[in-house]
Chains A and B, each alone.
Chain A
Amino acid sequence: MLFTVVLISLPAILIPVGIAAAIALILGIVLVIASKVFALPVDQTLEEVRSALPGVNCGACGYSGCDGYAQALRDGQDTDVSKCSPGGSDTAAELAAILGQAVPSFTPKVAYIHCQGTTDHTSKRFAYHGVETCAAAQNTFSGPNSCTYGCIGFGDCAAVCPYGAIYISKGIAHIDSHLCRACTLCVAACPKNLIEMMPKHYNAYTVTCKNKWPGGQTRKNCTVGCIGCRRCFKVCPSGAITMDGPLAVIDPNLCTHCNKCLEVCPTHAILRGLPLAEGTDGYPKRSRQEDDPVTPAPALVSGQTTQSDA
């Protein structure tokens, strides 16, 4: 009985199946032909360049992401292969090899927070009970700290850091220079514009302060701020120090690491980077010691004069 039903309705099944299959077949053939006819030559170089980049999409190179940088390198719009700071010298060398260039000299950089106004050195103007982000506090009378140029310490920078290189201790942010890969994400996150990129060599001298107040007002609000006394400016033999109003600024490219400014600074506002781990490319892969959270960042210890630049 069932068999006869199937037999009778056989055309009724076969025709729609046949038509549907025919349409599918035609579409499939058309797609295959189209993909052959309109096939784009796959660019091997772009793939290689892209895979050589770390894929963090941080934007430190100035492009929208790793894809953008890879595209620009491939198209020859950009010939500088050393723009990827998270990748460091390894990536630069790899890119140079792919693109057939000479291996460039790569200066490793590190993010640097221009503030050492910890709770020992500063006070609070008012008790802040708002949203606990630097951006929100900045909009509330420029934050609760006595120095309105200094670090607020809610850690907007730490929140954006993909490498966990920033930590908050004693009310201000510190950067672990061993973990920092110079992606510049924190630079954009800081509402006080305190973070800048520094060359990551042994003696990178910096005025670790950004305040533009006159000396007296600085003294009242922070014991380690730059008071604009111009002593470092006068003593510097290489002209690396300029005065931006009442604030001394050291140009790391001109600085010869003579240590004179460090000695004359009355408030110890000038700091120097510490030596890197021996025999590395500038990015030693070791983590910060977690057991001592209140010590200042290990790379930033003031007044060390025992070692000289090699």
Chain B
Amino acid sequence: MKEVLIILFSAILVDNFVLSRFLGICPFLGVSKNLKTAMGMSMSVIFVMVLATVITWPIYHLLLLPNDLAYLQTMIFILVIASLVQLIEIFLKKAVPPLYKALGVFLPLITTNCAILGVTILNIDETYGFGSSIVNSLGAGLGFMLALFLFAGVRRKVDQANVPKFFKGLPITLVSAALVSISFFGFKGLIENIFK
């Protein structure tokens, strides 16, 4: 139980996918403008991250590893994730229209998101078991959500601030993203001690 919590919280806070590992920056900058789209995007990311892990972990351990094909993982994972998202989209459209509407355009958008591929590959690299992998994916998704929500608040302040002309738009956004990222370094070393 303790180990599960450590994996979960370190995925959310210490190894935050956006702010510490710098994965998934594109949706992070793209949809953090307001909370509503941030919510839709985050839910889709969590959803797809967990499902992608559920599919890719068995494929790696049952198919690729026994055949000595670990080097194929990136290609196969991309293939599997892309098809998976497509499949989910077709399924949701028919079976759960409200959820399909809520996730909206974000579902196909994150098909090739590096954060999704990143979490599946990191699960393999960290030699997590199946359960731990799912927890890690969930944590990564929640961390993405946290980063997006925090940054949506920061951006609202930045939009109202009187920014020098050459800093307007993307430059000031990236600078403030870096500052938020630095603040997350404060969590380093926190997790090991919190569950002592």
Residues of A participating in the B interface, judged by any CB pair closer than 8 Å? 15-16, 19-20, 23-24, 27-28, 30-31, 34-35, 38-40
Interface residue B90 (Cβ < 8 Å from any Cβ of A):
yes
Query: Considering the complex, which residues of chain B in the window 77-108 have a beta carbon less than 8 Å from any beta carbon of chain A?
Result: 79-80, 83, 86-87, 90-91, 93-95
Tell me which of B59, B79, B86, B95 contacts A24 (CB under 8 A).
B79
Contact of A19 with B87 at beta-carbon distance under 8 Å, contacts A38-B95, A40-B93, A40-B94 already known:
no
Let me know if A38 and B94 touch, CB within 8 A. yes
Q: Which residue of B lies closest to A28 (CB)?
A: B83
Q: What residues of chain B lie closer than 8 Å to A34, measured between beta carbons?
A: 87, 90-91
Tell me which of B69, B72, B75, B90 contacts A35 (CB under 8 A).
B90
Interface residue B67 (Cβ < 8 Å from any Cβ of A):
yes
Let me know if A27 and B72 touch, CB within 8 A. no
Tell me which of B69, B76, B86, B95 contacts A31 (CB under 8 A).
B86
Let me know if A20 and B72 touch, CB within 8 A. yes
Interface residue B179 (Cβ < 8 Å from any Cβ of A):
no
Interface residue B63 (Cβ < 8 Å from any Cβ of A):
yes
Q: What residues of chain B lie closer than 8 Å to A20, measured between beta carbons?
A: 72, 75-76, 79
* A to B CB contacts below 8 Å, 16 in the list: A15-B69, A16-B67, A16-B72, A19-B63, A19-B64, A20-B75, A20-B76, A20-B79, A23-B80, A27-B83, A30-B87, A34-B90, A35-B90, A38-B91, A38-B93, A39-B94
Q: What residues of chain B lie closer than 8 Å to A19, measured between beta carbons?
A: 63-64, 67, 69, 72
Question: Which among B69, B75, B83, B86 has the greatest number of chain A C-beta atoms within 10 A?
Answer: B83
Q: What residues of chain B lie closer than 8 Å to A38, measured between beta carbons?
A: 90-91, 93-95
What 3 pairs between A and B have smallest CB-CB spacing? A38-B94, A27-B83, A34-B90
Contact of A23 with B79 at beta-carbon distance under 8 Å, contacts A16-B69, A40-B93 already known:
yes
Contact of A31 with B93 at beta-carbon distance under 8 Å, contacts A16-B69, A20-B72, A20-B76 already known:
no
Interface string of B30-67 (1 = CB under 8 A from A): 00000000000000000000000000000100011001
Q: Is the interface of A mostly helix, strand, loop or mixed?
A: helix
Given A20-B76, A38-B93, A40-B94, output 6 extra A-B contacts at Cβ < 8 Å.
A15-B69, A30-B87, A31-B83, A34-B87, A35-B90, A38-B91
Let me know if A31 and B80 touch, CB within 8 A. no
Cα(A23)–Cα(B55), bound, Å: 12
Instruction: Report A127 CB to chain B, min CB distance, Å.
Output: 23
Instruction: Report A102 CB to chain B, min CB distance, Å.
Output: 33
Cα(A40)–Cα(B91), bound, Å: 10
Q: Which residue of B lies closest to A30 (CB)?
A: B87
Question: Which among A20, A23, A30 has the greatest number of chain B C-beta atoms within 10 A?
Answer: A23
Cα(A19)–Cα(B83), bound, Å: 16
Q: What residues of chain B lie closer than 8 Å to A35, measured between beta carbons?
A: 90
Instruction: Report B195 CB to chain A, min CB distance, Å.
Output: 39
Let me know if A15 and B95 touch, CB within 8 A. no
Cα(A303)–Cα(B79), bound, Å: 74
Cα(A40)–Cα(B76), bound, Å: 30
Q: Which residue of A lies closest to B93 (CB)?
A: A40
Instruction: Report B87 CB to chain A, min CB distance, Å.
Output: 6
Instruction: Report A19 CB to chain B, min CB distance, Å.
Output: 6
Instruction: Report B101 CB to chain A, min CB distance, Å.
Output: 12
Q: What residues of chain A lie closer than 8 Å to B72, measured between beta carbons?
A: 16, 19-20
Q: What residues of chain A lie closer than 8 Å to B69, measured between beta carbons?
A: 15-16, 19
Query: Considering the complex, which residues of chain B in the window 90-146 have a beta carbon less than 8 Å from any beta carbon of chain A?
Result: 90-91, 93-95
Instruction: Report A30 CB to chain B, min CB distance, Å.
Output: 7
Cα(A34)–Cα(B87), bound, Å: 7
Cα(A24)–Cα(B59), bound, Å: 13
Instruction: Report B80 CB to chain A, min CB distance, Å.
Output: 7
Query: Considering the complex, which residues of chain B in the window 162-196 have a beta carbon less than 8 Å from any beta carbon of chain A?
Result: none
Instruction: Report B60 CB to chain A, min CB distance, Å.
Output: 12
Q: What residues of chain A lie closer than 8 Å to B94, measured between beta carbons?
A: 38-40
Let me know if B63 and A30 touch, CB within 8 A. no
Contact of A30 with B67 at beta-carbon distance under 8 Å, contacts A20-B76, A38-B95 already known:
no
